[in-house]
Structure 1
Amino acid sequence: MKRYLCLAAFAACFAGPAQAVEIQVGYAYGSIFDETMRQIVEGFSAAHPDIEITFRASYENYEDATNTVLREAVADTLPDVSFQGLNRQAVLVERGIARPLDPFIAQETDFDADGYHRAMLKLSTFDGGIYGLPFSVSTPIGYYNMDMLEAAGVEGRPETWDEVAEACRKIVANGQDAAFLHWNITGNWLLQAALWSQGVPTIRDGRLNMENPQGVAALESIRTVVRDCRMKNVSGGDALKSFAAGELAMMFTTTAYVATVDGTRVGDWAFVTGPYPGIGGAPKALPAGGNAAMLTSTSQDPEVLEAAWQFIKYATSGEGAAVVARTTGYIPPNKVANEVLLADFYARNPNKETAVKQLPLLAEWFAYPGDNGLAATRTIEDYLEEIVVGGADDMPGLRDEMVADVNDLLN
């Protein structure tokens, strides 16, 4: 039996008049985006009372989002709109599941003026066609409890992983929990960040590109946090709770959680974000995280397709993007949101501006090619777990084994 849900905080679905056109929508990370979607649908329904939005049960993460949609394509139960990780769009395009948005865009009178600039659209362009509109963009950043750092004698925010290790040793010596690196965040994102920070793409010629000194250095940066920071093996959610409770000095993860920390912080300690640490210096590039709204409807009804397009357009418009910025830590990819609606927002919210300042570093967040792409993601995570849980110390050896296994899958 199909399971359709409104948002958890909703008393009922947002419904229009009796003859309203209904569309089904799916998105990931309910804990982050539930309030965002509630506000977006509230504004959308006021402008489009003839369209009813019903949300599917939220996807756990971007891998789950893609797996779910691939299964639904086989069962012919696809939602009309699906929000997919930027690194997972290609597989839905290759399988013919995502429908091109170009015919709808061609009907818009002034699409560029609405904030949909070329750089934004490029994130969802494949073989010259536009298959999604970016909804939210993120970069990895550092989260700091400045009170704990100062109490341990740490001056300022660390800018490299060597400086993180030095800070951790002081914090641990002060009897406190030092740091958490969100190593298993979706899509091997922070491993890719460690590679990109050295200017190295994760995939080259269809293969995992780690048979180089930078590949070993990327793994060693993870081992540094595990070893020198005595990092606890907890989930990202538990680490986030510890940080918000003032029990963890540093956390390295997506900017998406800034609003969560602001809303759940316990105590009067100084919460500050900072640029993501680099390996031996400032990062040369960082992978673009986030997701895009894609048209996955199988309907042949022009009214349903037009309703789905109107929702995609509104969610990614200046109004929708501004809601994303206010309710999360994500960066709105829409120019109107950033330049007009949020003109003074970042001056009042400097912790959310950290990711914005890293926008010039944005690079591709790779999905592994071929039918085994999701399996490759899991295989890499298994190897990283050997560092976090098993205490693996031979990084060149672990790198060689991981590269061999992943490239066997990709072949």
Structure 2
Amino acid sequence: MGSDLLSIGRTGARAARAALDVTAQNITNAGSEGYVRRSVRLAEVASGSIAAVPADINLSGVAVAGVTRNADLFRQSEVRRTGADAARAGTEVDGLTNIETAVEQTGVYDGIVKFEASLQQLLSDPTDGSLRAAVTESGRTMAQTFNVAASSLDAVGTGLRFEANDGVTGVNRVAGELARVNLRLARAIDQSSDQTSLLDQRDTLLRQLSEQTDLTTTIAPDNTVTVAIGGMPGVTLVNGGTASPLAATTAADGTLAFTLGGAPVAPASGALAGKNQALAQLSRTRHDLDAVAADLVATVNAAQATGVDLAGNPGQPLFAGSDAAGMAMIATGGSAVATATSGTNSRDPANLKALRSALATNDPAGRTDTILFAISSAVAGRAVTRDALTSIADNARIALQAQAGVDLDQEAINLTRYQQAFQASGRVIQVASDIFDTLLGIR
């Protein structure tokens, strides 16, 4: 016999106890986010002797060879990739929805339609004071709707940039923690409990980073990770124990420009990319709305300049401003509307007709409707993409959970099996003791 029964029983009891501890840890952390199931790897202990030959079976018990994480790097990478895509689509849809609300619910389109309708009504009696007053009031209301829409769009942009900067702060915080985990992993004993806990932390931090930006990861032999963002090959965010700072600056059009360690970088997915895409749409919407406001002001004021007001004086501008935020009605009363052409009777609506014709050509209502349609179409299309990407990300998480998660039924079986193994080892020790007692009692 290669070893005594007491030694064999002792090693069996030690291995069973270690397996029971790991099983209990699995059960305790079954609901913990980011926890990966552990299992004890056991190995036979063989003792050799001078008289032993290769074919001999000469065992001396069992030893704990290490604690293994039931992790799959490919599935984890898929969870990060699909999660980043879903986060980008989700944040973009949220931003586009806020843009749509800012333009639609402020009533810009309705304000333009009512202003044009008041001009149409004024044709019936160009000298009617109430109809003239209605034109200036509807114009004032229209200008205010443009102001509110511009203010609302500015608020949406401010919110998106605030959230993006908060995301940048989060990326830097998580990257710093990941760098510290790398340092501890480099010193951890292979397949130890400390190492497996650090690997859980590493993978959890990587998943948190992927919610904000795309990641390219490289795992070293010592299990430390190098992380780059911005596509392939990307710019390095974490390398060993060093984390480069991510920063965001606001461009002239309101979008964000990102730098990593001073080098330009463009996140391809994640919440940061989604917010920047929404900011790009916001910039286009604001530009189009400003163009409608500026053209409307220029069209009305140009028509005013070719006519005369109710008192026969040369027409003066009705509106001021060159964009949606600055648009304002500056006429003090309805008499300022230049309905007639110079040298004609004040009842002559020729100049008013020219104004309506110019507005019809410029078509501010149609252009505003096009802006609303473009945003609504973008929201609808991105929502379909978001739902599809969210479904893919959910499936990836389910697959990872099925492979790396804790199955309580299986753990209950393991608990019983290792408990019985512990009891059996104790019984081996007891039998060995009984045999020795019997031998010692022989006379």
Q: What TM-score comes out, normalization by structure 1 length?
A: 0.23
Give the greater-gyration-radius structure (CA): 2
Q: What TM-score comes out, normalization by structure 2 length?
A: 0.22
Structure showing the higher helix proportion among its residues? 2
